[in-house]
A and B are shown apart, each in its own frame.
Chain A
Amino acid sequence: MTTIINVPHSLEDKSFEQVLDQVAPLPLDEKIIVDTRHARWASPYGLTALLALAQSRAERPILYVPEAENVSTYWSRMDFFKHAAELYELQGRVKSTKAAETSVLLEVTSISKSDDVHDVVDKIQQRAQDALVKNLNLDAKITMRFTMALSEVCQNIVEHAGRGGWVAVQTYTWRVRLGGRKVVVIAVADPGIGFRQSLESAPGFQRKERWDDGQALEETVMRGASRFRDPGRGQGLAGVRRFVGNWDGKLTIRSGTARIAVLPKGDWDEDEPLVEDLSYFPGAQVQITIPERVA
Chain B
Amino acid sequence: MINHIDVSSMLRKSVCELYSNLVTRPTGAAVRCEIEQELDRIGDRALTVIDFSHVGLLDFSCADEIVAKLLLQYVSIDSPRREVYFVFRGISESHLEAIEAVLERHKLALVTQRADGESRLIGIIGLEERRAWEIISQLGTGVGADVADAIGLSSDDAERMLDTLWRRRLLIRYDNAYVAVGSASIPSPTRLDT
Interface class of chain B by DSSP: helix
Give A57 to B82 CA distance when docked, in angstroms: 54
Determine if B97 and A232 form an interchain contact, defined as CB atoms under 8 angstroms apart: no
Residues of A within 8 A of B56 (CB): 125
State whether the Cβ of B114 lies closer than 8 Å to any Cβ in chain A. no
Would you list which residues of chain A between 106 and 161 have a CB under 8 Å from chain B? 114-115, 117-118, 121-122, 125, 141, 144-145, 147-148, 151-152, 155, 158-159
- A114, B26: Cβ atoms closer than 8 Å: yes
A239 & B24 in contact (Cβ 8 Å cutoff):
no
Question: Known: A117-B23, A118-B23, A141-B93. Contact between A236 and B61, CB under 8 A?
Answer: yes
Please classify how large the interface on chain B is, using the bins under 10, 10 to 19, 20 to 34, 35 or more. 20 to 34
> B64 within 8 Å of A by Cβ?
yes
Determine if B60 is an interface residue (Cβ-Cβ < 8 Å): yes
Specify which of A118, A147, A158, A233 lies most central, judged by the most chain B CB atoms within 10 Å of its CB: A118
Q: Which B96-111 residues have a C-beta within 8 angstroms of A?
A: 97-98, 101-102, 105-106
B57 adjacent to A231 (CB under 8 Å): no
Is B21's CB under 8 angstroms from A235's CB? no
Contact mask for chain B residues 6-28; partner A; CB cutoff 8 A; 1 contact, 0 none: 00000000001001010111110
Q: Is A4 an interface residue (CB 8 A)?
A: no
Q: Do the beta carbons of A147 and B57 come within 8 Å of each other?
A: yes
In the assembled complex, which residues on chain A have CB atoms less than 8 Å from the CB atom of B102? 232, 235
B181 on the interface (CB 8 Å rule)?
A: no
> Least Cβ distance of A290 to chain B in Å?
16
- Min CB gap B124→A, angstroms: 13
Interface residues of A (CB under 8 A from B): 114-115, 117-118, 121-122, 125, 141, 144-145, 147-148, 151-152, 155, 158-159, 231-233, 235-236, 238-239, 242
**6 closest A-B pairs (Cβ-Cβ)?**
A144-B94, A232-B64, A114-B24, A151-B23, A239-B60, A235-B60
Identify 27 residue pairs between A and B in the complex whose beta-carbon atoms are under 8 Å apart, listed by A's number.
Answer: A114-B25, A114-B26, A114-B27, A115-B16, A118-B16, A118-B21, A121-B21, A121-B57, A141-B93, A141-B94, A144-B94, A148-B57, A148-B59, A148-B97, A151-B23, A151-B57, A152-B59, A155-B23, A155-B24, A232-B64, A232-B65, A235-B60, A235-B102, A236-B59, A238-B60, A239-B101, A242-B101
